[in-house]
């Protein structure tokens, strides 16, 4: 795709035309959020499923948004010179290629988490953003929520003493997906385009809408689905700008006998030298930890920072501080009622950076997204190989470990290759 050179910097009062690519769960949130954002219009929507396009149209109509242009192929979105920015809410395996193509076409990008499906391609997204001078925000919205920012400032300023560990919790109840046979592609679905960069497999409803998260071909399990948020918050609080040098991960798919490939129970530990980061996935029935508040009836999701003088828990409800040997709660800050787990502040931050064309205005530049996604991929590589690994953060590889290096990337299908030179 041809690069668009010298793209203009938008003025403060210019309307930003956004195209939303991928119209299910996160895509619906994107349509609603960009419609609410100031000085912005959802000018186009795109999906490989005609049913989702119909639902997207109805949603925008309900939101009193002007009728959008409609596309079934994201490549045609990038051809549209009137589109200023795209939001990418596709499955994981499309995140990087869509980001690279968008940057090459001169579009700014809001891409959902995780930033990548594997470590190698994540770096290509960063390179594309830099080469084509594009604004690329990764959708880890906690970076733009005030109570998370307050909590991280407190941790990094020594509010609980010297921090020695951050533990992320993804205790998100997941029911069994069961087993389903391969079958015919549903009417109105462009399955070849949906598969895109991944390996072609027969259509199976259990590997399609949402459940694609639980298959290595298209997803990365809950550690990179819900968990990448908490992985990012933990790294943010520890002040680490690179991945860890050592990782160990173990777990399994326990209790269920179904089609899922990724683990429903997983523990990962990352060693930085002066501290460690720990992450745990529990998809089955479980209790909480560290006085973490209940997100809803079944989920405990958040991060616990452990320091020499106390510990802090932060989740979507707010943050709590417990100090001293008796672990007395000394502070409880609730989230701002209008925020909770809202995407709007993060989208507003993205649009601010699009207008200023300053990468420094972003709360979660693609590089931050890449580093946090890399932690998830490191854990999954260790889990899949069944052993501890050493990682070179500068070279972004496993040194002479050829078995681990083989999982840094994937084989891409013709026509959907993430280029080595973006």
In a domain, 4, yes or no: no
Check whether residue 90 and residue 42 sit in a common domain.
yes
Same-domain check for residues 73 and 112: yes
CA–CA distances in Å: residue 155 to residues 7, 32, 207, 238, 328: 40, 33, 40, 8, 17
Residue 396 lies in a domain: yes
> Quick one: 163 and 302 in the same domain?
yes
Cα→Cα distances 241→106, 234, 372, 373, 388, Å: 28, 11, 9, 12, 22
CATH of residue 246's domain is 3.30.360.10
DSSP assignment, residue 92? G
pLDDT of 338 reads 60
332 and 361 in a single domain? The answer is no
In this structure, the answer to whether residues 90 and 47 fall within a common structural domain is yes
Q: Cβ distance 173 to 285 under 8 Å?
A: yes
Domain with residue 102: its CATH number is 3.40.50.720
Residue 138 and residue 281 in one domain: no
Residue at 415 is within a domain: no
Same structural domain for residues 123 and 253? no
Angle between helix 344-356 and 25-36 (nearest 10) = 60
pLDDT score of 199: 98
Count of domains in the chain?
2
Token reading at 338: 């209008």
Residue 360: CB partners within 8 Å, gap ≥ 6? none
Residue 319, pLDDT score: 95
Q: Is the residue at 420 inside a domain?
A: no
Answer yes or no: do 284 and 137 share one domain.
no
Residue 318 lies in a domain: yes
Residue 421 lies inside a defined structural domain of this protein: no
Burial of 142 (0-12, 13-18, 19+ CB in 10 A): buried
pLDDT score for 295: 58
Residues 229 and 378 in one domain: yes
Range of the domain at 226: 146-174+189-339+373-405
Per-residue pLDDT of the chain (422 residues; tens, 9 = 90+): 444 433 444 544 489 999 999 999 999 999 999 999 999 999 999 999 999 999 999 999 999 999 999 999 999 999 999 999 999 999 999 999 999 999 999 999 999 999 999 999 999 999 999 999 999 999 999 999 999 999 999 999 999 999 999 999 999 999 999 999 999 999 999 999 999 999 999 999 999 999 999 999 999 999 999 999 999 999 999 999 999 999 999 999 999 999 999 999 999 999 999 999 999 999 999 988 887 766 555 688 999 999 999 999 999 889 999 999 999 999 999 887 666 568 999 999 999 999 999 999 999 999 999 999 999 999 999 999 999 999 999 999 999 999 999 999 999 999 999 999 99
**Inter-residue contact 169 to 382 (CB < 8 Å):** no
Exposure on the CB side of residue 63, measured as CA atoms within 13 A: 22
State whether 226 and 135 are in the same domain: no
105 in the same domain as 163: no
Position 417 in a domain: no
* Residues 370, 116 contacting (CB under 8 angstroms): yes
Say whether both 207 and 232 belong to one domain: yes
Residue 104 forms part of a structural domain: yes
């Amino acid at each position: 795709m041809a690069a668009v050179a010298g793209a203009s910097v938008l003025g403060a009062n210019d309307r930003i035309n956004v195209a939303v690519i991928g119209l299910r769960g996160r895509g619906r949130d994107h349509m609603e959020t960009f419609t609410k954002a100031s000085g912005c219009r959802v000018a186009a929507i795109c999906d490989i499923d005609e049913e989702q396009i119909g639902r997207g149209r109805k949603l925008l109509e309900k939101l009193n948004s002007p009728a959008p242009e409609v596309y079934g192929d994201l490549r045609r979105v990038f051809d549209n010179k009137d589109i200023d920015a795209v939001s990418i809410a596709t499955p994981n395996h499309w995140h990087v290629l869509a980001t690279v193509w968008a940057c090459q076409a001169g579009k700014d990008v809001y891409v959902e988490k995780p930033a990548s499906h594997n470590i190698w391609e994540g770096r290509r997204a960063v390179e594309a953003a830099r080469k084509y001078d594009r604004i690329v925000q990764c959708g880890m919205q906690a970076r733009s929520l005030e109570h998370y920012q307050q909590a991280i400032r407190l941790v990094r300023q020594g509010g609980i003493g010297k921090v020695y560990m951050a533990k992320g919790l993804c205790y998100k109840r997941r029911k069994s997906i069961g087993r389903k046979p391969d079958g015919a592609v549903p009417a109105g679905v462009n399955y070849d385009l949906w598969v895109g960069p991944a390996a072609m497999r027969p259509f199976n409803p259990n590997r399609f809408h949402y459940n694609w998260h639980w298959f290595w071909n298209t997803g990365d399990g809950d550690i990179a689905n819900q968990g990448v948020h908490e992985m990012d918050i933990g790294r943010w609080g520890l002040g680490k700008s690179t991945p860890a040098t050592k990782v160990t991960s173990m777990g399994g798919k326990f209790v269920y006998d179904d089609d899922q490939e990724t683990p429903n129970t997983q523990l990962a530990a990352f060693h930085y030298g002066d501290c460690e980061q720990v992450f745990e996935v529990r998809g089955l029935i479980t209790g909480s930890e560290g006085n973490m508040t209940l997100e809803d009836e079944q989920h405990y999701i958040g991060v616990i920072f452990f320091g020499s003088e106390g510990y802090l828990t932060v989740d979507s409800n707010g943050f709590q501080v417990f100090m001293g040997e008796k672990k007395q709660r000394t502070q409880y800050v609730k989230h701002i009622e209008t925020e909770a787990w809202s995407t709007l502040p993060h989208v507003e931050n993205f649009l601010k950076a699009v207008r200023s064309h300053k990468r420094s205005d972003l709360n979660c530049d693609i590089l931050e997204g890449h580093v946090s996604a890399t932690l998830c991929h490191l854990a999954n590589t260790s889990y899949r190989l069944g052993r501890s690994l050493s990682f070179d953060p500068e070279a972004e590889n496993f040194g002479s470990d050829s078995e681990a290096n083989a999982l840094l990337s994937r084989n891409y299908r013709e026509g959907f290759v993430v280029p080595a030179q973006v």
